[in-house]
């Protein structure tokens, strides 16, 4: 059959379009096959042992944010509470004086360096009451010497003082507290220039001799509160980009830490004129990170607060302690040797974590 040339052009155009459509379909099918046959990343593939999870360790430093109370003061002299001749003098090389320590003897009697929130301005005997008594009781207790907290000087208060004084070879007079046996300091720890009075020196009422001399600047750094659920271990805080040790009681005694704090914008930017104390926030973490295991929450059974159990692939139960969480996973430490893999959803277990 004869067709005009114009129809030949139309047939050729339609055929070209059809060929293009076929080519696209083939390309799409090839792409789909390629996608279905590509390998799933190993981190996303299910375990070949269905319901089990290989255990792997990771480092954990239990980083928290805490508040530090920073106390600054002008240069000052810390005086003796009595007169006499210095028969013993020994101060730490770093100049850090702490409450409950012993740096001097006078006329053969030990003098205890002691902080109390209220200055210890008088002698005490049974029945005396006041804020100074309560401050003495609080500090003796903080130092580890059991005392009542009644605000009344009683036998338990005297006994706590007697034990502290005896630790340095002294004998406390029965039923009394003698303020002359104490060098009072205004903070729990104090940065000083060392012993300000030499061995053999005499101290009189009209003498300006000081036991310690402080320099102007930051005198103490202490945490306002420490997390009660923190992982046990030595800790550090970060100040102005550097890490410094912090004690179990939350005190930072490193003189370099005090120097770093004084020039840190986190402190200077928060400090208000005329205020001696300033609160700053810092990172608080373990000095040495520990190994932990990251597991699904459902892998823990018999939970009791932070303690529970995991179950190995073979069915053996093992005690676990929760220390934190990360990216939706629970971080735990284990009691005993870790199994190679655990059940991800063990259900009930006979493990006793209580």
Asked whether the predicted pLDDT for residue 311 surpasses 60, the reply is yes
Cα–Cα distance measured from residue 226 to residue 218, given in angstroms and rounded to the nearest whole number: 21
Q: Are 318 and 309 in contact (CB under 8 A)?
A: yes
pTM of the predicted protein model: 0.59
Asked whether the predicted pLDDT for residue 43 surpasses 60, the reply is no
Average pLDDT, the chain: 85
Cα angle 213, 214, 218; round to 5: 175
Q: Are 240 and 263 in contact (CB under 8 A)?
A: yes
pLDDT of residue 17: 44
Q: Residue 117's pLDDT band (boundaries 50, 70, 90)?
A: very high
Q: Residue 54's pLDDT band (boundaries 50, 70, 90)?
A: very high
Cα–Cα distance measured from residue 201 to residue 86, given in angstroms and rounded to the nearest whole number: 5
pLDDT of residue 50: 54
Cα–Cα distance measured from residue 45 to residue 43, given in angstroms and rounded to the nearest whole number: 6
pLDDT of residue 83: 93
| 30 to 27, 35, 36, 39, 41: CA distances (angstroms) | 5, 9, 10, 16, 21
Q: Residue 206's pLDDT band (boundaries 50, 70, 90)?
A: confident
Q: Are 328 and 288 in contact (CB under 8 A)?
A: no
pLDDT of residue 353: 54
Where residue 84 falls (left for φ over 0; alpha for ψ -120 to 50; beta otherwise) is left
Cα–Cα distance measured from residue 118 to residue 28, given in angstroms and rounded to the nearest whole number: 84
Asked whether the predicted pLDDT for residue 207 surpasses 80, the reply is no
Asked whether the predicted pLDDT for residue 39 surpasses 90, the reply is no
Please compute the mean of the pLDDT values over residues 216-225 and round it to a whole number.
90
Instruction: Determine the straight-line distance between the first and last CA of the chain, rounded to whole angstroms.
Output: 96
Asked whether the predicted pLDDT for residue 12 surpasses 90, the reply is no
Share of the chain above pLDDT 90, in %: 66
Tens-digit pLDDT profile for residues 65-98 = 999 999 988 888 999 989 999 999 999 988 889 9
Please compute the mean of the pLDDT values over residues 181-200 and round it to a whole number.
91
Cα–Cα distance measured from residue 64 to residue 117, given in angstroms and rounded to the nearest whole number: 29
pLDDT of residue 41: 41
Lowest mean pLDDT among 103-112, 204-213, 275-284: 204-213
Within 8 A by CB and 6+ apart from 166, the residues are: 172
Tens-digit pLDDT profile for residues 236-276 = 999 999 999 999 999 998 889 988 998 899 999 998 877 88
pLDDT of residue 31: 37
Asked whether the predicted pLDDT for residue 228 surpasses 60, the reply is yes
pLDDT of residue 33: 41
Cα–Cα distance measured from residue 194 to residue 203, given in angstroms and rounded to the nearest whole number: 17
Asked whether the predicted pLDDT for residue 49 surpasses 90, the reply is no
pLDDT of residue 44: 40
Within 8 A by CB and 6+ apart from 178, the residues are: 123, 172
The larger pLDDT score, comparing residue 32 to residue 235, is at: 235
Please compute the mean of the pLDDT values over residues 159-172 and round it to a whole number.
97
Please compute the mean of the pLDDT values over residues 228-238 and round it to a whole number.
95
Cα–Cα distance measured from residue 132 to residue 5, given in angstroms and rounded to the nearest whole number: 118
DSSP-assigned letter for residue 56: -
Q: Are 262 and 217 in contact (CB under 8 A)?
A: yes
Domain boundaries, given as residue ranges, for the chain: 64-69+218-286, 75-215, 289-343
Please compute the mean of the pLDDT values over residues 320-325 and round it to a whole number.
93
DSSP per position, 111-157: EEEEE-SS---S-EETT-BSHHHHHHHHHHHHTT-----SSB--HHH
Which of helix, strand or coil describes residue 106?
strand
Please compute the mean of the pLDDT values over residues 97-109 and round it to a whole number.
96
Q: Residue 350's pLDDT band (boundaries 50, 70, 90)?
A: low
pLDDT of residue 292: 96
The larger pLDDT score, comparing residue 151 to residue 349, is at: 151
Handedness of CA 83, 86, 89, 95 (dihedral sign): positive
Cα–Cα distance measured from residue 110 to residue 183, given in angstroms and rounded to the nearest whole number: 10
Reference 331, options 64, 62, 45; nearest CA is 62
pLDDT of residue 276: 86
Q: What's the token pair of residue 111?
A: 């003098």
Q: Residue 28's pLDDT band (boundaries 50, 70, 90)?
A: very low
């Amino acid at each position: 059959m004869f067709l005009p040339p114009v129809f030949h052009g139309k047939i050729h155009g339609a055929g070209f379009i059809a060929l293009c459509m076929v080519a696209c379909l083939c390309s799409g099918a090839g792409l789909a096959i390629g996608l279905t046959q590509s390998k799933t990343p190993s981190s996303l593939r299910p375990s070949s042992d269905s319901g089990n999870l290989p255990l792997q360790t990771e480092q954990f430093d239990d980083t928290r944010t805490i508040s530090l109370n920073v106390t600054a003061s002008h240069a000052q002299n810390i005086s003796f509470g009595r007169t006499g001749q210095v028969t013993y003098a020994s101060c730490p090389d770093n100049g850090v004086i702490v409450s409950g320590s012993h740096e001097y003897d006078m006329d053969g009697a030990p003098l205890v360096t002691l902080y109390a929130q209220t200055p210890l301005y008088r002698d005490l005997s049974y029945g005396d009451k006041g804020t100074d008594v309560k401050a003495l009781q609080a500090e003796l207790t903080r130092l580890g010497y059991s005392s009542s907290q009644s605000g009344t000087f009683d036998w338990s208060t005297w006994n706590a003082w007697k034990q502290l004084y005896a630790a340095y070879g002294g004998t406390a007079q029965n039923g009394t507290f003698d303020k002359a046996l104490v060098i009072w300091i205004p903070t729990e720890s104090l940065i000083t220039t060392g012993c300000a009075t030499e061995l053999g020196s005499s101290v009189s009422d009209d003498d300006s001799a000081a036991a310690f001399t402080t320099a102007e600047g930051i005198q103490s750094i202490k945490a306002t509160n420490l997390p009660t659920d923190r992982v046990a271990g030595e800790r550090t805080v970060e100040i102005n980009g550097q890490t410094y040790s912090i004690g179990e009681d939350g005190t930072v005694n490193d003189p370099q830490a005090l120097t770093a704090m004084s020039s840190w914008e986190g402190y200077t930017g928060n400090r208000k004129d005329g205020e001696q104390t300033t609160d700053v926030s810092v990172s608080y973490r373990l000095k040495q990170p520990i190994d932990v295991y990251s597991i699904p929450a459902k892998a823990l059974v018999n939970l009791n607060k932070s303690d529970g159990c995991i179950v190995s692939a073979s069915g053996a139960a093992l005690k676990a302690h929760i220390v934190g969480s990360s990216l939706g996973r629970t971080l735990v430490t284990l009691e005993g040797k870790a199994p190679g893999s655990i059940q991800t959803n063990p259900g009930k277990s006979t493990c006793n974590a209580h």
